[in-house]
Structure 1
């Protein structure tokens, strides 16, 4: 019985740390690759030892986080904020990136931008192929049962909302008719 080890003792005995490549590589503080970046208390330099690239010019509005005092050297300008989604994005950038309002407003702006894109297509006379653009063909091919459940749930919610709207409008008409008859 003395030779039998428990499972925990066996697993501990089976792994010798010195046999694992790289184990304890950061144990020696004199051989710490992150040391110059982590502790600059003895250093008077600003920390940046390279010349900053020239700033990209911009002829469109580029939104910038309140956390940063300057833009990066290169940034995207392909889709400047426009319309209602742009207004929502501008309001999102008034909040810190650590606040939920910033991210929730940006997600809302993305959804609004999608609807604006569909409306823009329709205004130009192009009917968007939402089935393909939303990946519904792939969903139907590879994930059929959950797709059917989601579609049924969406239809039920939409039908319920339409029914409630119809009943509310009908009740309002009846009230107006009763008020007019009095």
Structure 2
């Protein structure tokens, strides 16, 4: 009964659980719960349905293997695309949400999506500019030393330029070496 107001049946009765687990159900008595006077369960919700109307699925959506069906309402603003979409689909089709592999694949899909977006920006008239987009210029003009003191991550600040600019320098070096190798072969 996913996504409905009905509660699924318990696999064991409260009496069986109380007999098997010491202290189970200690808060069942309302007198034992400090928040009980504030708990009001019979207020009208305003919902005019038992199960929300199913949103139409115009494109195939990723689905959790734990659920029998897609949620009644889902986002459509960022459809899966490219290699990152393949990685994310694989995470949903193959692994349960309770497995680390599922979440690690989703993180990997995000990283692949970032690389795809950077590469796609080079095909436009305004490619990514790592100098302005990382805020390196603002460091020098907006209180560079005062903004660095009193922070918790002081020991990690030395890594910021390496993490942000390092991949761009490596990519530039690989590009330079590739162009140089092609030029050498063209001369032969």
Class of the TM-score when normalised by the shorter of the 2 chains: 0.5 to 0.7
Helix, strand or coil for the counterpart of 1:68?
coil
1:63 aligns with 2:62: yes
CA contact (8 A) 1:61 1:80 kept: no
Per-residue CA shift, 1:70-99, capped at 9, x if unaligned? 111111111111111011111111201111
The offset of 1:134, in angstroms, is 4.8
Instruction: Tell me the residue number matched to 2:120.
Output: 120
What is the RMSD of the two structures over their aligned residues, measured on CA atoms?
3.9
CA contact (8 A) 1:55 1:74 kept: yes
Instruction: Tell me the residue number matched to 1:105.
Output: 105
> In 2, Cα distance between the equivalents of 1:107 and 1:86?
12
CA contact (8 A) 1:60 1:77 kept: no
> In 2, Cα distance between the equivalents of 1:30 and 1:151?
55
TM-score, normalisation: structure 1:
0.52
Distance 1:73-1:132 versus aligned 2 partners, 3 A rule: farther
1:129 aligns with 2:109: no
Gaps of 5+ in 1: 1-25, 34-49, 166-182
The offset of 1:61, in angstroms, is 2.6
**1:17-36 correspondence to structure 2 within 5 Å:** 29-31=28-30
The equivalent position to 1:149 in structure 2, one of 158, 161, 175, is 158
> In 2, Cα distance between the equivalents of 1:139 and 1:75?
40
> In 2, Cα distance between the equivalents of 1:139 and 1:97?
40
Instruction: Tell me the residue number matched to 1:51.
Output: 50
> In 2, Cα distance between the equivalents of 1:78 and 1:130?
26
The offset of 1:30, in angstroms, is 3.2
1:81 aligns with 2:90: no
Of structures 1 and 2, the larger Rg is shown by 1
Helix, strand or coil for the counterpart of 2:122?
helix
CA contact (8 A) 1:89 1:105 kept: yes
TM-score, normalisation: structure 2:
0.51
Gaps of 5+ in 2: 1-24, 34-48, 175-188
